[in-house]
Amino acid sequence: MLKHLLVYFFLFFLISCSNGDNTQDLKSSNFIKPNFTSIQTRYDCVLDKDKSLNNLEALIPSLVVSTKNSIPSASLEILFNQGSNIEYFSIIYSDKNMATDNQSFLNILVEEGLYQISNCSMSDIDLQSANIFIDNISLNPDSFEVEILNCEFNEGYNYGTFSIEIDTFLNALRSKEILYFAKFQQVNDLSSSFTWINYLGSEDDKNKLYEIWLEEEGSIRIQESFNTQSTCQSSSAYKGYKIL
């Protein structure tokens, strides 16, 4: 249990502020905005009782082709709940066209028969999404471990306040050969609510991440910074696959 509690703090890499006077840093942080490059919609689904993952697997190829032909700027991920309820899954639709609406993709889901094998609910809001890469090196793995946290900035804090020292965390991963990147998502950069998604290339990468955190001398400071800057719900873990 302790391992999982610690990782909630770690996965944000909310490095604590300097012990000195950081008033100017806090003011400067207001000018640091996320580099949103896509807009994302999430569909949470549960298979009908008389259907199985085989039905979903059979549907995916035509879904991918239809999406690719109709929406060239789109990408798709499918996430499976890490629990025992394998009938639950999510489809993540991302579009580099920031002005898009999700109606075209919803029409494709209906036409390709997703709603004939499952009951799906679409997220209430579309989120603008920014990628966080080590050394800005883009990663695009076919499969990955995913952890999603829904959070709220506490008063006086924003994206800029914990992005100021973001490299401190990334430096710890640079030499560990861990396949890792993250996504920071908001309705817009004025919102206090945000979603943080951790992507790790494998279960082994996730275990290495835990080990680094447990060995990190500054873990208490990071926990304190986490509590100071934001409030988050418990994380949800998934096995994910990029299908487009």
Query: What's the distance, CA 10 to chain centroid?
Result: 15
pLDDT > 60? residue 218: no
Which is more confidently placed, 20 or 236?
236
Domain boundary at 70, 101, 122, which? 122
pLDDT > 70? residue 206: yes
Distance between CA 201 and CA 142 in Å, rounded?
Answer: 9
Mean pLDDT on 18-24: 44
pLDDT range class, residue 9, cuts 50, 70, 90? very low
pLDDT > 50? residue 161: yes
Over the stretch 177-201, which tens digit does the pLDDT of each residue have? 789 999 999 998 889 999 989 999 9
Which is more confidently placed, 166 or 194?
194
Distance between CA 166 and CA 157 in Å, rounded?
Answer: 15
Contacts with 48 (C-beta within 8 Å, 6 or more apart), sequence order? 117, 118, 119
Residue 99 sits in the same domain as residue 203: no
Mean pLDDT on 19-27: 48
Residue 30 sits in the same domain as residue 83: no
SS3 154: coil
Domain that holds residue 192: 2-36+129-242
Buried b (16+ CB within 10 A) or exposed e, 191-212: beebbbbbbbbeeebbebbeeb
Q: What is the CATH number of the domain that holds 72?
A: 3.30.70.1430
Residue 162 sits in the same domain as residue 118: no
Residue 211 sits in the same domain as residue 238: yes
Domain boundary at 95, 122, 149, which? 122
Domains in the chain, number: 2
pLDDT range class, residue 76, cuts 50, 70, 90? very high
Residue 30 sits in the same domain as residue 140: yes
Residue 24 sits in the same domain as residue 58: no
Residue 46 sits in the same domain as residue 116: yes
pLDDT > 70? residue 203: yes
Of all residues in the chain, what percent carry a pLDDT higher than 70? 78
Domain boundary at 71, 89, 122, which? 122
Mean pLDDT on 20-34: 60
Distance between CA 203 and CA 205 in Å, rounded?
Answer: 5
- Within 13 A of 203's CA, how many CA atoms are on the CB side? 3
Residue 95 sits in the same domain as residue 195: no
Residue 116 sits in the same domain as residue 140: no
Mean pLDDT on 78-99: 88
Residue 136 sits in the same domain as residue 227: yes
Provide the mean pLDDT of the chain. 82
Residue 93 sits in the same domain as residue 204: no
Least confident of 74-78, 108-112, 150-154: 150-154
Q: In the prediction, which pLDDT does 129 show? A: 96
Q: In the prediction, which pLDDT does 16 show? A: 35
Which is more confidently placed, 171 or 208?
208
Smallest CA-to-CA distance from 229 within 198, 182, 192, 199 is with 192
Residue 42 sits in the same domain as residue 32: no
